[in-house]
Structure 1
Amino acid sequence: MLLAERIARFGNKIVSLLTAILIILLLTYGLYSLWDIYRINHNAFISDELLKYKPGQENGLGFDALRELNPDVKAWITIDNTHIDYPVLQGKDDMEYVNKDPFGEFALSGSIFLSIKNASDFSDIYNMTYGHHMENGAMFGDLTKMLDLNYLKEHTTGTLYVPDKTYSVKLYAALECSAYETRIYNLASVMSDMEGFQTYVKANATSYIDQGVKSTDKIIALSTCMSATTNGRVVVFGTLTETEKEVQS
């Protein structure tokens, strides 16, 4: 009887010890997960190191220096008074920079990138860019806010720098669609019928500002995921108007 009680007590101690270890492991994992989420979201914002390469800055390292580090850097986009202020990459396919930063290092937040189906110098009439939707607003996280017409009206301006030109960006529409919407994502089809494309955007936009956009205007599309649906996308459209032949780089 005494032996059985000792065995039972020993067994209870083992169970208690294992339970304590399990709780510690779960807490450790939970804390690590929270730290990892914070790190991913924080790193998605433009770093001071990367900002040194932004075109047009005094005492900066210069855009050309960044392009020497990574020739896949094709442009730099800034949308005023938002978190969108990043280099634009173009890889060997449209997956390369989904999880790679502008320096070519692994990063879950990835990079802003131009479709492989577009000319790398933004000479096409329709230019599709992609970026992750970060809940804290980093990368293309601010695009979903532009579904609100009032927000869009207050954040229409920006700049696109390419090596030999500078374009002013004027945003005018935001819509929700499927990732398989050919009238947005089939670039060859869109470019062959820009008038039909503009008609579709105006008819289906959640928010739209009538700026008198013409079928001959050069367009940039900014596309990101919607967190609520797997294949849902938010796309914001703007015109590109050349303002300078060159930019300080």
Structure 2
Amino acid sequence: LVLMIQYLFGLWQSKKLYDEIGSNYHNVATTQVVTEAQTEESALEETEVPTETTTEVKHYSVMEGAANLLSINPEVIGYLSIPDTEVDYPVMQHPNDVEGDEYYLHHDLQGNRSQNGSIFLDSRCSFDAVGADGTLAVPNSDNLIVYGHDMRDRSMFGSLRDYRSVDGYYEAHPLIFLNSNYETYVFKIYAYFIADAEDTTDTRFDYWNRINFDDETAFYDYVNEVKRRTLRNTSVDVKYGDQLLTLSTCNGAFSTARLVICARMVRAGEDPHAGTTGSTPNTNIKWPSVYYYGNENTYDPNAPFVPYGP
């Protein structure tokens, strides 16, 4: 009884903390967006169109909402949300994490021990890492990998299970908003699949190690392996050079299962929802070997397959 009370109290504390943080963050972000839009409009009215264009190094400024979070914990590197879902959290990153014992698996935004942990970026990834001069210190990683617990009360990444289990969930929630401390970004989901975190067979897919790609071939090898495994086929295209985002959490498909949500950044001028309607179940899913212990292996490696890329 005591353990149950402690568990429920911990869930309540976590929800209260992140509800307050989310409310404050979004209120500031909304105000800032309106102000920036008005400022840009005034600037356009007052500024003459230049006759020559020059390439300038981009300088970044910390957004007000991010500044508030950084005052609580300097290891905040952004904010992630999926509209109309429970996913709405700061993103943390702890330097030099130990694989399997990552700091934010068991700590909240304030650094307190927490069964919920936090949403956190793989420590090997770089995401808008800005130096003292206000410019990027290092390029962003090709694939940003973000982790979170699959909580029973649907907090953290608990609601991501609905992509697998609820009809129409993908079409209703195809976009992921990931802000850095400096910029706002939108990603669209192109695939999602089940992986085995401890697979040692020929179906092993260590997606968590695909952070940067040496060349175009390596990029397409990765995204096409994702496509072979996806639970649903979407019409979202993926091209070499696209910024990728991967969300990873546990799943109940089997004891070592991971649900992996794969998205790519919306391109400049692109309709965010283009390709996200009319998805269909994948009838030839490449599952991890462990899945076939209790299910028939129907995967046909020679079945017709339309890959991403040229």
With structure 1 as the length reference, what TM-score do the two structures score?
0.76
1:235 and 2:260 aligned: yes
Q: Which residue does the alignment assign to 2:245?
A: 220
- Which deviates more from structure 2 when the two are superposed, residues 203-212 or residues 34-43? 34-43
The equivalent position to 1:117 in structure 2, one of 99, 121, 124, is 124
Q: Deviation at 1:183?
A: 4.0
1:47 and 2:65 aligned: no
- Which deviates more from structure 2 when the two are superposed, residues 145-154 or residues 34-43? 34-43
Q: Which residue does the alignment assign to 1:82?
A: 85
Q: In 1, are the aligned partners of 2:121 and 2:145 still within 8 Å (CA)?
A: yes
Aligned length: 214
Which string of whole-angstrom CA distances, capped at 9 and with x for unpartnered residues, describes residues 61-116 of structure 1? 72212113211100101111111100000002151100101111111100000001
Q: Deviation at 1:36?
A: 2.7
The equivalent position to 1:178 in structure 2, one of 196, 212, 224, is 196
SS in structure 2 of the partner of residue 74 of structure 1? strand
Distance 1:37 1:58, change over 3 A: same
Give the structure with the higher percent strand. Answer: 1
Q: In 2, are the aligned partners of 1:174 and 1:208 still within 8 Å (CA)?
A: no
CA distance in 1 between counterparts of 2:160 and 2:84 reads 12
SS in structure 1 of the partner of residue 222 of structure 2? helix
Alignment of 1:1-16 (within 5 A): none
The equivalent position to 1:169 in structure 2, one of 179, 187, 197, is 187
SS in structure 1 of the partner of residue 225 of structure 2? helix
The equivalent position to 1:147 in structure 2, one of 164, 168, 181, is 164
Q: In 2, are the aligned partners of 1:74 and 1:89 still within 8 Å (CA)?
A: yes
Q: In 1, are the aligned partners of 2:127 and 2:180 still within 8 Å (CA)?
A: no
CA distance in 1 between counterparts of 2:120 and 2:261 reads 15
Structure 1: runs of 5+ lacking an equivalent: 1-29, 244-249
SS in structure 2 of the partner of residue 195 of structure 1? helix
CA distance in 2 between counterparts of 1:119 and 1:110 reads 21
Amino acid paired to 2:8:
Y
- Which deviates more from structure 2 when the two are superposed, residues 183-192 or residues 145-154? 183-192
* Structure with max Cα Rg: 1
Q: Deviation at 1:49?
A: 2.9
Give the structure with the higher percent helix. Answer: 1
The equivalent position to 1:56 in structure 2, one of 26, 29, 38, is 29
Structure 2: runs of 5+ lacking an equivalent: 33-63, 130-139, 199-203, 269-310
**Which gives a bigger RCO, structure 1 or 2 (Cα 8 Å, sep 6+)?**
1
Q: Deviation at 1:136?
A: 1.8
Distance 1:121 1:182, change over 3 A: farther
Amino acid paired to 2:238:
V
Q: Deviation at 1:150?
A: 2.0
1:138 and 2:155 aligned: yes
With structure 2 as the length reference, what TM-score do the two structures score?
0.62
Identity %: 26
CA RMSD of aligned residues (A): 2.6
